[in-house]
Structure 1
């Protein structure tokens, strides 16, 4: 389980970097980065609830 979460965190961070790269150097870069992290984390929470609360 722990190794799965480590892999997911790396994927989440890479996705946020890719999403924010479109705005590199601009004022939106940080906002898009944090927003992507939040969206990915929310999705992951739902996945975990659906998996372990059956």
Structure 2
């Protein structure tokens, strides 16, 4: 999950989407950084929500 957050930061810009403030949500659950997408049953056609915390 942390790798996905860092990739979002790289593509969208550090000022707009700093990885430390990102929350990735899948099926109503906030994904923990130390888990993998596979652990969270995220597939290629899954929908993820990206939110920023303060």
Larger-Rg structure? 1
TM-score, normalised by the number of residues in structure 1: 0.34
Which one has a larger percent strand, Structure 1 or Structure 2? Answer: 2
Higher RCO structure, 1 or 2 (CA under 8 Å, sep 6+): 2
